[in-house]
Every structure is written in structure tokens, then in C-alpha cells.
């Protein structure tokens, strides 16, 4: 079963912080599906959304708590089981000739938040912003036209609760059924 976990972290905006965070995943051999980082609501901090696949809960408990031990990391939340919104943007360069351009635009009409942002004689660049599933289904529909180049931002996510997170907040996975870890 594919287990996708979404972790939100608030980190200092300083050189080397990305390295420290990535290091935590690297030393356990976990592949990061996506990691996005950008300015947060506070100028001295950046917010990261980290997505990992197929990481056992006990291991993820370790990684999130070790991540929390990184001095430059101020807050770590596993928001997978929370009520949250998540979006990613993809730029897709698709082969498009005079004959196929119209068909491609027709496909885009089926999607919210998808549009052509650049047109060349033999290709178009499409921008789509939405949940991962929506991006993937658009990609599936465009596949027959030949995707020349693809750039995805990875997921950005925010929980829907109406409080600001506190410095020093940490929440890892709940370790349901972890007793089997030993027995």
C-alpha cells in the first residue's frame, strides 16, 4: 500500500538549512517525493512542505522527531491526517501542431486552473495549479500528444484550522498499532 505522508515545517531562513533537513531523510535512505520551500508569514522563517512515500510510521516518527531536533527547525507537523489543502503547480511543454492545438485547448477546458501560457509553432506550455491528482490526470490526458518537458513544483500545503502554529510545536505520526514493532 502506498503511504504518502505530508510534513509541514517552519525553518530559519539561513544558508545550509535545506541541507540539514535533507540530511535527516538522506541518512535513513528515505526518498523525498517533493520538498518545497519558500517565505512564510514571518520574514526570518521559511515554510517547507515535505512529501514522502512508503515510509513506515515508526520510521517517520523518528525522522520528524529528529527533524525537530535540528536547531534551525522551529516547528514540525505531520499534517497527513489533518484537514488541509494542498496544491502544486506544473509547467508542461507539450508537442502541439496546427492540427492538435485545438484538441489540447479542449482538454484544458475540462480542468480548473489550467491554461496555455506560451505558444510556439510546434509546442505549447501549459500551466496547471491544483491538487496532485488533478495534475496527474491532466498529464495522463496530454501523454498521447508527447510531453517534451515537465516541471512540477511539488506540493505546498496548509492546515485549515484557524490558529497560527506555535514555535516549538511538534506532531509526528500517531503510531497506531505500533505495538507490533516489538512483538
Partner 1 sequence: MSDRMLAGGELVCEALQAEGVDLVFGVPGGAILPFYDHILKYPSIHHVLTRHEQGAAHAADGYARATGRVGVCIATSGPGAINLAVGLGTSFMDSTPIVAITGQVTRPAIGKDAFQETDVTGVTIPVTKHNYLVMNASDIPRVMKEAFHIARSARPGPVLVDIPRDVLQEIGEYSGYPQSVDDLPGFRPITHPDPDQVQGAADLINAAERPVILAGRGVLLSGAEPELKDLAERAQIPVIPTLLGIGSFPGNHYLHLSLMGMHGSAFANFVANEADLLINIGSRFDDRIIGRVADFAPHAKIVHFNIDRSSIHQNIFAHAPVVGDAKNSLQALLPLIRQTTRPQWLSRVDDLRREHPLIVRDFDGKPSTQYIIKRIHELTDGKAFIVTGVGQHQMWAAQHYVTDRPNSFITSGGLGTMGYEVPAALGAQMGRPTEQVWSICGDAGFQMTLQELATIRDEKAPVKFAIMNNRHHGMVRQWQTLFYNKRYSQIDTTGPDFVKLAEAYGMPGIRVDDIKDVDSAIKQAQDHDGPVIVEFMVEIDELVYPMIPAGQSVNEMVEDPWMDQQPTGTARR
Choose the binding region for partner 1 from 68-76, 99-107, 110-118, 156-164 (rule: CB under 8 A). Answer: 68-76
The 114-153 site mask, x for binding partner 1 (CB under 8 A), equals ----------------------------------------
Q: Does 82 bind partner 1 (CB under 8 A)?
A: no
Is the CB of 19 or the CB of 54 nearer to partner 1?
19
Contact call for residues 146 and 27 (beta carbons, < 8 A): no
Question: Cβ–Cβ contacts within 10 Å for residue 75, how many?
Answer: 19
CA distance 183 to 176: 14
Give one DSSP letter per residue of 119-152, joined into a string: EETTEEEEEEEE-HHHHHHHHHHHGGG-EEEEEE
Q: Which helix (H) or strand (E) holds 168?
A: none
Choose the binding region for partner 1 from 31-39, 71-79, 125-133, 151-159 (rule: CB under 8 A). Answer: 71-79
Chain residues in the site for partner 1 (CB under 8 A): 11-12, 15-16, 19-20, 23, 27, 58, 61-62, 65-66, 68-74, 167-168, 170, 175, 178-179, 181-183
Amino acid at each position: 500500500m502506498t503511504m504518502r505522508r505530508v510534513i509541514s515545517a517552519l525553518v530559519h531562513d539561513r544558508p545550509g538549512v535545506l541541507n540539514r533537513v535533507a540530511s535527516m531523510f538522506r541518512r535513513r535512505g528515505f526518498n523525498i517525493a517533493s520538498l518545497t520551500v519558500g517565505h512564510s508569514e514571518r520574514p526570518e522563517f521559511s515554510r517547507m512542505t515535505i512529501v514522502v512515500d512508503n515510509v513506515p510510521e515508526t520510521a517517520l516518527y523518528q525522522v520528524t522527531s529528529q527533524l525537530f531536533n535540528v536547531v534551525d527547525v522551529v516547528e514540525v507537523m505531520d499534517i497527513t491526517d489533518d484537514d488541509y489543502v494542498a496544491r502544486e503547480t506544473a509547467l508542461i511543454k507539450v508537442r502541439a501542431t496546427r492540427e492538435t492545438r485545438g484538441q489540447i485547448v479542449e482538454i484544458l477546458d475540462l480542468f480548473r486552473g489550467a491554461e496555455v501560457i506560451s505558444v510556439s509553432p510546434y509546442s505549447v506550455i501549459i500551466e496547471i495549479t491544483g491538487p496532485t491528482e488533478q495534475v496527474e490526470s491532466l498529464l495522463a490526458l496530454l501523454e498521447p500528444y508527447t510531453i517534451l518537458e515537465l516541471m512540477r513544483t511539488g506540493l505546498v500545503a496548509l492546515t485549515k484550522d484557524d490558529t497560527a502554529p506555535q514555535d516549538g510545536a511538534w506532531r509526528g505520526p500517531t503510531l497506531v498499532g505500533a505495538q507490533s514493532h516489538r512483538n
